[in-house]
Structure 1
């Protein structure tokens, strides 16, 4: 049987936390639920303390200085404290479905498989949250990939280097990893990214570890959509969106250079980074830089971010 540590970073999620924890703690495969409280300003800490006192499988931690460090550093602390052989994540306003570990129980019998990912659905908790989500993401019922994949194909798909469309990112809520694989790859979340640290982690994980798709045609977890979801607040290609994307792709660019990735991968990451770098520029300077970069790397006009340049 799998022994799984479920890591839940907690920040101002008091109204959702009990449902999230109860969706995870009952699985036989779950050895422990690790709550890492990140200096919430609501009653989250009190709820964490109550839950931990009621069930020995639930463990509560805070950063040593009791300050707020963001989701990346908070998940890193959870990984450090985890004692299970497998690591999963769950956002404090989301929850697992009963089939969450059905694929994992079979796929991890193969020692080659270091991580398994699946699909997540959406649960509209407020009408405002629903409207904001649907404006940005239409009415996509699943966050998933379009076809089964494993190994390097997963990494190539995430970088849009496959011959067919791989699909959107899979979500941390639907990812299970061998802790030994994280240790071998020396992989942690980039604590300097306050947003997109999950996407950054997933791409790096897909390169360093052998991932395999599990249940991708139906949800194994649900994302709670409400008024305070950060994912719905940033307008695509707004200055704030461009700046956050720039920091995210710079993290990947620096990583690709440090790890000396094959030139095909480094170039794709560089072009994505450069598109957001160009988006920060204004006026004539911007268009001159676009022309110069286009002459050096014509492929930049073929990236999925190409329309970003002219805004």
Structure 2
């Protein structure tokens, strides 16, 4: 049994998947297994990775096309490692990624760690020239702790994530496999977007994690291009499912009053995010329940309802 399970879901990504696989093979840390779940690719993905399947640590599984969530869940079911990390087929790890993550988990006896990462979209410019994504996030700013890693308590993580957004990328996290097995946490296959956000919130809040490790150094590169930024059909509905789940998870496992201003900020932003009347109304009612004495909120609610009757908002 390998210590780390790396899971790569892929669909028609023959152009890039070789880079992803090689980035795992070239890691200094060698106690890993690589599980590639092919979600029904119709290109030459199988032929591209075939030479690497001679490595007994690499496993290739093909399934009918059912979506990335199902592919990732298949990888979770097959994983045998003590720790699990994901890598998308068009992204790649940086040297030392696995050793940095596992060392931090074991040195500080953690179950969850995440790192900074780079978003890269121009092959003519070295990815090292790009500013790491979390340099401007409140959770990514340095403090007096070790440059190698710093510990974040749950309250700080949730509060700052509500205000500035979840700082996690699916390629920048490593966690104990016991978390998903004990609590049966899976990716939501109802979602076409936001599956990873929903998964991370569930993993962190349902499992009672108290400390989270953050590695300021980038350990992975997220490759994005025009096609990856196309709007998914029904984006607003999927966003609503994810945002509602975040609200309910915090309410159930942590309590809303404990987070006060961060939760108000979250609900306020969700109100402006949606154009649909029913989605706006849902979050505005939650906001008023949390701050019933705010006259401004009541005025905006009345304005929302009047606007609905005047046909300003969609149904």
- TM exceeds 0.5? yes
Q: What's the CA shift string for 1:219-255, capped at 9, x where partnerless? A: 11101122321xx2239xxx94433311211333454
CA distance in 1, matches of 2:272, 2:245: 13
State the match for 2:36 in structure 1. Answer: 35
State the match for 1:114 in structure 2. Answer: 111
CA contact (8 A) 1:4 1:85 kept: yes
What are the equivalent positions in structure 2 for 1:164-175 lying under 5 Å apart? 169-175=167-173
> Does 2:247 match 1:250?
no
CA distance in 2, matches of 1:84, 1:200: 23
More displaced 10-residue stretch of structure 1: 147-156 or 30-39:
147-156
> Does 2:201 match 1:189?
no
State the match for 1:306 in structure 2. Answer: none
CA distance in 1, matches of 2:184, 2:79: 15
> Does 2:256 match 1:263?
yes
Question: Across the two proteins, how many residue pairs are aligned to each other?
Answer: 276
CA distance in 1, matches of 2:222, 2:230: 16
State the match for 1:80 in structure 2. Answer: 77
CA contact (8 A) 1:93 1:224 kept: yes
Task: Flag the 1:36–1:157 CA change in 2: closer, same or farther, 3 A.
Answer: same
What are the equivalent positions in structure 2 for 1:291-310 lying under 5 Å apart? 296=289, 298=291
TM-score (norm 2): 0.73
Q: What SS is found at the alignment partner of 2:12?
A: coil
State the match for 1:12 in structure 2. Answer: 12
Deviation at 1:111, TM superposition (A): 6.5
TM-score (norm 1): 0.73
Task: Flag the 1:174–1:293 CA change in 2: closer, same or farther, 3 A.
Answer: closer
CA distance in 2, matches of 1:112, 1:67: 39
Q: What SS is found at the alignment partner of 1:18?
A: helix
Task: Flag the 1:154–1:296 CA change in 2: closer, same or farther, 3 A.
Answer: closer
What are the equivalent positions in structure 2 for 1:98-177 lying under 5 Å apart? 98-110=95-107, 112-125=109-122, 141-144=131-134, 145-147=139-141, 148-152=150-154, 153-160=156-163, 169-177=167-175
Task: Flag the 1:190–1:293 CA change in 2: closer, same or farther, 3 A.
Answer: closer
State the match for 2:61 in structure 1. Answer: 61
What are the equivalent positions in structure 2 for 1:206-217 lying under 5 Å apart? 206-207=204-205, 208=207, 209-216=209-216
State the match for 2:145 in structure 1. Answer: none
Task: Flag the 1:168–1:111 CA change in 2: closer, same or farther, 3 A.
Answer: closer
CA distance in 2, matches of 1:290, 1:180: 34
Q: What's the CA shift string for 1:22-68, capped at 9, x where partnerless? A: 0012333442110000012322233344432x321110113xxx322
Within the candidate set 199, 202, 208, 1:204 is matched to 202
Q: What SS is found at the alignment partner of 2:97?
A: coil
Q: Which has more radius of gyration?
A: 2
State the match for 1:47 in structure 2. Answer: 48
